[in-house]
Amino acid sequence: MDVTAIMNPLNSISLPNLTHAQFPFPSYPEKDLSSRRSDALAKFNTLANQPEHATPELFRTFLSDFTRMGWWDVLADLFLRSGAKREILNAVAICHVASFPAGREFLWNAQSSFGDHSFHEHVVLLVTELDESTRAHMLGNPTLGEDGMILMSIGDTGLHLPLTSVCLDCPGLLSHEAVANMLLAKDDTSRTLLGRVADSVASERKGVGDATCNALWYALLAGMSQCSAFYDAAQPSDVRDLATVYLSAAQSTENANEIASALSRCARLLERKEDWGNAAQMRCALAAHYADQASDPGMHSQDDSPQALTRVAVHESITAARCLEKANEARAATEWLQRAQGHFDQLVAESDFDFLSRTGERLYAAYGNVNWPEAGQRLAADMCRLAETRGPLLKTNAFHRQYANWVRRLDAMF
């Protein structure tokens, strides 16, 4: 029995050498991988794609084999290139291991064994090292990992770099246009990269992947939700896919503010595309989110008082009703206006009159939009009484006339 094959899982299979492929890093002295490294990589890829073989020992062995250099090569690299070759090999090997879910877990558990840099920083090092055309080509031809991680292929070597959220924070490294093109790139089935992830999220009803995957997608889509390049190129279905993945990634953070931000941004994008039904779903979820926060002290920070959260819930409920009305969902629209009225009633005793006046006027207009005169008339009468008892002394008569006019307009309208 071959004892070496037992100790080293990479020796347990035999594959022909890969065809030499261009290795596009200027600091690396050779432009191709050696046959030994190509062979080690091919064997590793075969085993790493089989869960039963994706063990810490496999990753440790690959890192050692792929980065090993002869003593003469080490000296030449040290004195002639200040260690550039070793740095590139180490970064590439670590990034490739990080392209596998089990590999990322291995790296986190053994982080101290691989220097002071996390694999995120190694990704940034390598992406920065690439020339602009190579980087654009890699971004334009992404591969989607089984867990939703976006992988960039290094030529035809079989090596991958996982795109991480840290890349997005580096000024000038990745443009919004490049990221938008990557997300909207279609495969052989005419499905976009973003759409394939949305399909996976919708079917499994959970986040995109592990914390690294979710952080990437949250950062990507937070940027795209404010990016004209994405909006101009996207179809309504693409915006729906963005909303599906973005919200899923935000919810995995369990951060109330990030969830609210994701809902709000997705709603605005869907509204811009006049996708009123899906926009309404986002607005309804956002209104419910703020109402839940207001009623649960454990869900909001000291900076967000229940009163402030309830105020936002009122406005989001009215906006949700407006979207539902435009989606021809009149019954649902009236239900959300009832919710808005309930939140508004909670605020009457504690809120200043200016807020009540502005919000009351908006709620009144919403009743008119859904053809609900009785509710509008009750609100107008309530606001007249508030104007008399709570309105500014010098403006009481003006407010009274304003709300009295509401009633007259309603009578004329209905």
pLDDT tens, position by position, 338-352: 999 999 999 998 888
Looking at residue 254, its pLDDT comes to 81
The total number of structural domains in the chain stands at 2
| 196-210 tens-digit pLDDT | 999 888 766 666 778
pLDDT tops 90 at residue 64? yes
Q: Is residue 8 part of a domain?
A: yes
Count the Cβ atoms, other than its own, within 10 Å of residue 358: 11
Decide if 27 contacts 84 (C-beta within 8 A): yes
- As a whole number of Å, the CA-based R_g of the chain is 29
Say whether pLDDT at 125 is over 80: yes
- Whether residue 124 is predicted with pLDDT greater than 60 in this model: the reply is yes
Residue 218 included in any domain:
no
Give the separation between CA 87 and CA 67, rounded to whole angstroms: 9
Check whether 12 has a pLDDT greater than 80: no
SS3 annotation, the chain:
CCHHHHHCHHHHCCCCCCCCCECCCCCCCCCECCHHHHHHHHHHHHHHCCHHHCCHHHHHHHHHHHHCCCHHHHHHHHHHHCCHHHHHHHHHHHHHHHCCHHHHHHHHHCHHHHCCCCHHHHHHHHHHHCCHHHHHHHHHCCEECCCCCEEEEECCCCEEEECCHHHHCCCCCCCHHHHHHHHCCECCCCCEHHHHHHHHHHHHCCCCCCHHHHHHHHHHHHHHCCCHHHHHHCCHHHHHHHHHHHHHHHHHHCCHHHHHHHHHHHHHHHHHCCCHHHHHHHHHHHHHHHHHHHHCHHHCCCCCCHHHHHHHHHHHHHHHHHHHHHCCCHHHHHHHHHHHHHHHHHHCCCCCHHHHHHHHHHHHHHHHHCCCHHHHHHHHHHHHHHHHHHCCHHHHHHHHHHHHHHHHHHHHHC
Sorting pLDDT into bands at 50, 70 and 90, what band is 326? very high
Residue span of the structural domain in which 412 resides = 354-414
For β-strands 159-162 and 143-144, DSSP reports them as unpaired
- Residue 58 domain-assigned (yes or no): yes
Burial environment of residue 281 by CB neighbours within 10 A (0 to 12, 13 to 18, 19 or more) = buried
Of the candidates 143, 161, 179, which is a domain's last residue? 161
Residue 121 in domain? yes
* pLDDT tens figures, 137-154: 888 888 888 888 999 998
Task: Please measure the distance between the N-terminal and C-terminal CA atoms of the chain and give it in whole angstroms.
Answer: 92
**In a domain? residue 203:** no
The token duo for 387 is 């104007």
Q: What is the pLDDT of residue 18?
A: 38
Structure tokens at 236: 């309504």
Of the chain, the percentage scoring pLDDT greater than 90 comes to 34
Lowest mean pLDDT among 76-80, 94-98, 236-240, 409-413: 409-413
Residue finishing a domain among 108, 126, 161: 161
Of 127 and 410, more confident: 127
What is the overall mean pLDDT for the chain? 83
Mean pLDDT, rounded, for 174-179: 82
pLDDT of amino acid 400: 62
Instruction: Say if 337 falls within a structural domain.
Output: no
Which percentage of the chain shows pLDDT scores above 70?
A: 85
| pLDDT at site 46 | 94
Above 60 in pLDDT, residue 267? yes
What pLDDT was estimated at residue 292?
92
pLDDT at 222 over 90: no
Residue 282 in any domain: the answer is: no
pLDDT value at position 32? 83
Q: Which pTM was predicted?
A: 0.75
Give domain status of residue 396, yes or no. Answer: yes
Q: Which residue has the tokens 């406005």?
A: 315
CA separation, residue 62 to residues 45, 93, 111, 255, 392 (Å): 10, 8, 16, 37, 76
| Mean predicted confidence (pLDDT) in 385-399 | 68
How confident is the model at residue 395, as a pLDDT? 57
pLDDT digits (tens, 9 = 90+) for 288-319: 999 999 988 666 555 578 999 999 999 999 99
The pLDDT assigned to 412 comes to 54
Identify the domain boundary among 127, 161, 195.
161
